[in-house]
A and B are shown apart, each in its own frame.
Chain A
């Protein structure tokens, strides 16, 4: 399983986590490329149902960062 690269959807709050991701870029910090970020205005926007649906759709993990 070591070669397995998971697909992870990341819901990022525009004001916090998305901004920190931007800064991570500016700082040229390197991290694994597995996350697929989706910008939301607040992590509260993320309906738990959507998370289950995303799993149904086949994603391997989810990150919600506010």
Chain B
């Protein structure tokens, strides 16, 4: 419906969306919004404020009637203005910035010419008693009459001439405005109730007083300017053959003047001068001259009209002024003229004409028509009324209200302004109608001019790639045909041309307010009121604020070497994501933009807008680009069913996230993605093709070029200016890179109390860390607002549930049209009829929107009235809508599980929209299957279990302690189980964090707090020895120094930690000067005497045995190297690395280290460094890939960054049935979205046991784990899904296979008195997967709500 197409933000402009749109299909909230920008400049330029963009859009769609309706909201004369308007709108058209203005006036005419006005219904008018008399039936008078009549007033128009129309009839010649158009549009006003009395001269036939006596509560004087101004030159008064333009044209149009003999000279530069000259030619004049004292550029008439007049033979003399009129026998014989020149612009900006002495010349003429201006002809109209008239002989009125000095009399149009255009008169009419109505309603009128609020210029930006499109030419009548009569000169464009012309519109204001969507919305959700909704400001009182404003992708347009701005096949990584997406612009088909061909070779460039101070001021690493580039390359390869060549150009490949390294390795080894360590120099179009030539420098310094089909720029993250501004307003400190400043120990706290942060604004990061931080921020708020917990919660009460156990099924079916989503494709009435024929059906109904609130209310009534006990809704997906309907069921006193949905939208009408019949038939089948199943549905009672509101934390390191204290500070007691005799874990070896903060000081304070906390119990030398229970009710047995202790708790947090491994490489353990990790910084004496220190990275990481990156070692070694250099700048420090992985703002450390002279040498896995003992010292050998040769470094000390590995986790894994990955790290429930949870409820994890990470990440994750645990612990009891397995104790033989296959410890063998073992379900643990039921050899296990019989009925019904 919506005629306005805008670039889709979601598809990054690669595809279009409508002005009324939903962000993307799965967006939440899933509702449409209308984009309204500032009013389009064309509308603002129109004196009558016509909705230009709206009617142009309608012409574009061929909806002429709708176009006319839009026009008629602001004026009653679409066809007239479509012809004679001087179209100020076109001068402000933004198309002028590209090529030429849209031919707006002509499009209005096209619409008008295609519509019969009688076909447009008159709106319902509520009649009023008040009467209004309007004097003058020109455009001002008739417009006022139209709007007053629409308002219900009784309007009489009085016209002195024989026919209505004023100057439109007696001034504008027929060849510009055919009388048929004029007559039709004036005649149309009668349908609105306007009465027009012609041949009635007020002041002669009737007086104003008489009108008032007859009940006119208000009078509008719109009598125009009918008296021509004099030239004031000699000969003017005496001669015959001199007639002012108004009289001339009026006599012609009255039919009194049918022929003009001889030659005519018209004096003036306006429209009427042209009209008179052209008219004279049509009446037989031999010659028609116009003399104008200024030049062509000052002409008031439009240039194209001037040209047309000249084509017809009108001779225009510019810079010529009349001097006197010559006559003979009182008949005009000609006019003496003098040439003029123009002065420079004076203070009013006008150039005055000055006569040039001696340049006189004579033009022979039989008729002289002065067309230099007009004034009102008041006659006897106002004599007795004492109305104020200005010195220009114009009426004086309040400029805002048009009220005269007599309260009930208003005046407008030419009579107050002097001669002006029709559209300006229309504006006067609108204004008069508005204030006359207010006056008649007794409202107080403003006394002063009301300034409109300033309109902004926030319009759609001019599309960069908009092609030049020429303005369509208006067809005209051939010149030779014109002079013979009064046929219209301008012809109507054909529809195709009009459509093309309308398509040139840029839709400046986005929504064009055509209100087509209002008509289209059957749900009446989009109305004129909702259309008028504006943003408003509300105030919310809160105790805390969490900032999660995210990032903006870097815009690479400014890098001209990459040609992003100019070449369609250079795109950003986000644009590439859209191309790959099934919902994207190409439906997931991998093509390049320029020619939509499948690319054979794609290149990715890393670090675009990251790690770059020279060109973009972003010194940091954006952390995510390496990984997403690898992923994009792999997905691209997957999408291509041919051998796609993917190459990634990078500096360091940074894949330090959990399992990211494996992904990277697989991409290279298994899928053949090429990784090219290089610096890209330029990308240039390869001549004659749409391909791109990439010029790059390899690590060894070779310059190479390669041709690619497309190039993807891996753009980095940056904080948007709006967020920087927000931070300023909130008083939040930012880092050098404009991210939120936080400390290592409080990673989610900003510098402002009570304001917390998470996500990319805290620092560039990937999804898992963002999700963790989000939970951590929630935890901070939870602690901050612990006392207010639950204070705003309202609980809903449902009516008692009916027992339907012994009732026969009475099924109600509700079939949804979903607007047109279902009803537009499938035959809903046929489905309804079909449903009625199914067994057990009592009631069937069709809804426009079954999910609407009113339908829910009605459904409750229907269920009660018809005593229904099962409900089937045939609509959309139960995944989104089942809970809504289940609530309705409960409101109607039915159990929530007596409900089923047939997904006829997602599974029928949306996916078989091309075949309506098939969609209908399949819908019927789905309804039948659903009804069959519904007959067997049964009430399932809700299950709730009490919660033990305390937690067990396993591990007493920083993560464990943080988790415990985060819970305890929220009021949930926690017990820490620590296997060693001391708290602190791996952090006890650290001195400072990468941000330079003192770890030991923090640690001792934390331990102190833990030990003193009344709600924290610390068990040292303790280990878990047995576990039972489930979420909310765990019981864990702990062995503490030989004794055992049982702890009951509602949640578990696993924080068993990890440590750096030992190694036998590089002489570690053999030479005392080969150390690892923090050994070096913890031994300052050794460092003092050292002249040369070598760090070796990736010792035991990123190799076959440990195919993961330990994530923190690069930062640790670089930090230490900086400290050494700061202590003694003369010490030589080398770091031998594979990829420098100082991700995020840690990159600044890497930069600092280089600046301080730390020497970085890269090595590869196949050319590892060597360490040998010589002369009591150490010699390190390494192959330098830049120099392309081996170098030998004499080292006093060698420090190894050995791998981080998790604690022994096997037992914990077994006890709680939680999975480990191949390297013994715990495996979270979802790597990205549930990073601190397990699939089993009530168990959470954090710290090094999840994956190697820094203190700040451990703290963040620990708080996240606490936050997630609090969601369990904050409840007295929890509702769990009752869709669990059910064991038939009679059939069970106690074989135990179910226990074996259950992944969740949710079914166990229990001894039953006298029967041996029988399977027993544990509802709180059961996920309802049904594996046990499908495995049971006795087939004695069934699943509630998914019973074998229920599934079977569906299968049977499907046949």
Contact = CB atoms under 8 A, between A and B. Distances in A.
A33 B922 contact: yes
B1333 A45 contact: yes
Interface in A1-41: 7, 9, 14, 18-19, 21-31, 33, 36-41
Contact of A27 (B583, B878, B1348, B1354): B583
Contacts of A29: 582, 587, 911
Given A33-B915, A47-B1334, A40 B925 contact: no
B1189 interface: no
Nearest to A60: B1359
Contacts of A46: 1334
Contact of A41 (B912, B915, B1330): B1330
A25 B1329 contact: no
Contacts of A7: 1358-1359
Contact of B1331 (A24, A31, A44): A44
Contacts of B877: 18, 22, 25
Contacts of A53: 1352, 1355
Interface residues of B, number: 46
Contacts of B880: 22
B157 interface: no
Contact of A30 (B911, B929, B1339, B1351): B911
Contacts of B1329: 41-42, 44-45
- How many chain A residues sit at the interface, stated as a range, is 35 or more
Contacts of B1343: 41, 45
A59 interface: yes
B1333 A47 contact: yes
Contacts of B906: 21-22, 24-26
Interface of A: 7, 9, 14, 18-19, 21-31, 33, 36-42, 44-50, 53-54, 57-59
Contacts of A31: 911
Contact of A50 (B878, B922, B929, B1355): B1355
Interface in B1312-1359: 1327-1331, 1333-1334, 1339, 1343, 1346, 1348, 1351-1352, 1354-1356, 1358-1359
Contacts of A54: 1355
Contacts of A47: 1333-1334, 1339, 1348
Nearest to B905: A25
Contacts, number: 118
B26 A23 contact: yes
B913 to A, nearest CB: 7
B911 A36 contact: no
B918 interface: yes
A40 B922 contact: no
B384 interface: no
25 contacts: A19-B879, A21-B903, A22-B877, A22-B903, A23-B25, A27-B582, A27-B583, A28-B911, A29-B911, A30-B912, A33-B921, A37-B907, A37-B926, A38-B929, A41-B1283, A42-B1331, A44-B1334, A45-B1331, A45-B1343, A46-B1334, A48-B1334, A50-B1352, A53-B1355, A57-B1359, A58-B1359
Contacts of B1358: 7, 9, 36, 38, 59
A33 B1359 contact: no
A21 B907 contact: yes
Main secondary structure on chain A at its contact with chain B? mixed
Contacts of A36: 922, 925-926, 929, 1358
B464 to A, nearest CB: 29
A31 B26 CA distance: 20
Nearest to B821: A25
Contacts of B1334: 44-48
B361 interface: no
B914 interface: yes
Nearest 7 interchain pairs by C-beta: A25-B906, A45-B1330, A42-B1329, A36-B1358, A44-B1331, A25-B910, A47-B1334
B1136 interface: no
B903 A37 contact: yes
Contacts of A45: 1329-1331, 1333-1334, 1343, 1346, 1351
Interface string B19-30: 000000110000
Given A45-B1331, A54-B1355, A58-B1359, A33 B910 contact: no
Nearest to B1333: A45
A58 B1348 CA distance: 18
Nearest to A35: B907
B911 A38 contact: no
B338 interface: no
Given A22-B877, A36-B929, A45-B1329, A30 B903 contact: no
Nearest to B901: A39
Interface in B46-65: none
B831 to A, nearest CB: 15
B1351 A18 contact: no
Nearest to A37: B907
Contact of A9 (B914, B915, B1355): B1355
B717 to A, nearest CB: 27
Contacts of A41: 1283, 1327-1330, 1343, 1346
Contact of A22 (B879, B915, B926): B879
Nearest to A12: B907
A30 B914 contact: yes
Nearest to B1284: A41
Contacts of B921: 33
Nearest to B909: A25
